[in-house]
Amino acid sequence: MSYRAPVKDMLFCMQELAGLDEVAAMPGFEDANMETAQAVLDECAKFNEEVIAPLNRAGDENPSSWKDGVVTTTPGFKDAFKQFGEAGWQGLQHPVEFGGQGLPKTIGAACIEMLNSANLSFALCPLLTDGAIEALLTAGTPEQQQIYIPKMISGAWTGTMNLTEPQAGSDLALVRTRAEPQPDGSYKLYGTKIFITYGEHDMAENIVHLVLARVTGAPEGVKGISLFIVPKFLVNADGSIGERNDVQCVSIEHKLGIKASPTAVLQFGDAGGAVGQLIGEENRGLEYMFIMMNAARYAVGMQGIAVAERAYQQAVAYARDRVQSRPVDGSVAGSATIIHHPDVRRMLMTMRAYTEGCRAMAIAAAAAFDAAHRHPDAEVRKRNQTFYEFMVPLVKGYSTEMSIEVASLGVQVHGGMGFIEETGAAQHYRDARILTIYEGTTAIQANDLVGRKTARDGGTVAKAIASQIEKTEAELGKRDSDAARAMLKRLSAARQAFVDVVDFIAAQSKADPNAAFAGSVPYLMLAGNLVAGWQMARALLVAEQQLEQGQGDAEFLRAKVATSRFYADHLLSKAPATRDAIVEGANSVTALALEAY
């Protein structure tokens, strides 16, 4: 089934929920208006539909391969990546002075979604390169920036993130890769890194590895970790490529999904030491790496939305085509296509509502990111930064967890054919399964939400968001429609459930940490559900008002009202039960003795 980018919904989210006009009024974003957004998204849709999406199935059936240290990507990937770089898509959000286009994240987020819907495996290479660029923009020297960033923006070089080691997964205090200072100011690195996405491939002439390592004599734990640039090929003073560095790909992993993306085991320093340059200051590597991590976490959330959209489109196409059984209401005399059956429509609406809700949440968060970086008022910047930081674990955690449910429903809509690889529904399910794991598992996102984003300030930011939601409830209360009344009822109950949980976590985080963290993932899911539902409520208000005024695409707007109403009735309605599980069920999580498992 071919992919069609949901440009109309993306533009609606940008204009009506994210306030793109306000973003375009900020310094440096003057050209980023709706006309620009429309033009960029139309071109992005065309490129991804025609060039990238057709390679998705091929990548699953004929994944990257490794032989004698060389990785060969799926046929077609190399040429597609060349076109991707030449068309300027890698530089969409990066600074103009390095060859980028300098567009806001509000527009870039939609393009990220399209790329990942088209081909999740392919999109991982640009995703990691974006993170490497961000880290260098933040902590690299001017010389490092000039050497590496333009090459990565052009697509000539790509970037990686090297954190994980065989003994050090999420606990980076256990990192053992060592860096030895050299007389010329460089370092030699020795160690093994695993799970390195696009750590070796044939799509670019150089790979810029950003590597966490411990300088000889550094403090133990995370305080002694530094960050280094370790390119596959050394770079000469004039920026040209020099000799091969001492970093080798010793194998790639065989995986459940995202098979076309080579996940490498890299060995540094087998033949005398891999030459690296320090980024920033020694022992501040984790701080710099988290710049990459936060960029990547948001992008992985977009991957969840992307694969959900692709699974939804495929399920709808199948449901419109597959004939099975007579409709229960007798609307068709004989057997009909399965889209006539209420339960199939329930599944499709669940897929649609989840996807649209998370898209709206993510694009609204992107606008906050833009305001945090470009708004002329310092107080507004600070407020938006705080909001965006709260949103990152929701975009990453909620959007990826929902993508597994949506992709699973996609298989279910296909019935037995969903379990058969030839339909392609199973690939979306397999691909989605990694999204809740890499770049920080859902539990890690939830721990961040509980510890740093809620307990630390006693729930102040969380309650400020709840106050904003109350304002939307007030607007819903002014409307005389069944959809608005249903949304008001569910949104109000979900907000109250959220506030109850915030109070519980703030009270228990020190008094009984196990109780607070026992419900961390349910709290993240409740928060994500609420914020996505809030955005759907805002969308409902806009859609109803535009319909009354005879504005916009009536068919699109009626569908938005119906989808928002479904979100309220079927998804937001879960919030009070989640609240009860967290607040009243904390003790039962740890009640069973360890030896009884």
Among all residues, which ones are annotated catalytic?
A: 439
Residues 381-395 as b/e (b if ≥16 CB within 10 A, e otherwise) read bebbbbbbbbbbbbb
Residue with tokens 């959000």: 93
Query: How is residue 326 written in tokens?
Result: 């007579």
Query: Which residue(s) pair with 70 in the sheet?
Result: 67
Residue 438 to residue 324: CA distance in whole angstroms? 39
Helix axes 442-450, 378-414, angle to 10 degrees: 150
Helix (H, G, I), strand (E, B) or coil at 166: coil
Q: How many CB atoms lie within 10 A of CB 3?
A: 21
Q: How many CB atoms lie within 10 A of CB 61?
A: 12
d(Cα 564, Cα 584) in Å, to the nearest integer? 30
Backbone angles phi, psi at 247, to 5 degrees: -135, 125
For residues 98 and 289, the answer to whether their CB atoms sit within 8 Å is no
* Coil, helix or strand at residue 208: strand
CB 213 within 8 A of CB 226: yes
Given a contact cutoff of 8 angstroms between Cβ atoms, the answer to whether 145 and 137 are in contact is: yes
Contact assessment for residue 251 and residue 70, using Cβ atoms and an 8 Å cutoff: no
432 closest CA partner among 408, 397, 398: 408
Q: What is the 3-state secondary structure (H, E, C) of 411-430?
A: HHHHHHHHHCHHHCHHHHHH
The residues, ordered by sequence, that sit 6+ positions from 9 with a Cβ below 8 Å of its Cβ are 356, 359, 556
* Cα distance between residue 108 and residue 114, in whole Å: 10
DSSP state of 70: E
- The structure tokens listed for 531 are 């914020």
How far apart, in Å, do the first and last CA atoms of the chain sit? 45
Q: How far is CA 242 from CA 136, 147, 232, 235, in A?
A: 21, 13, 10, 5
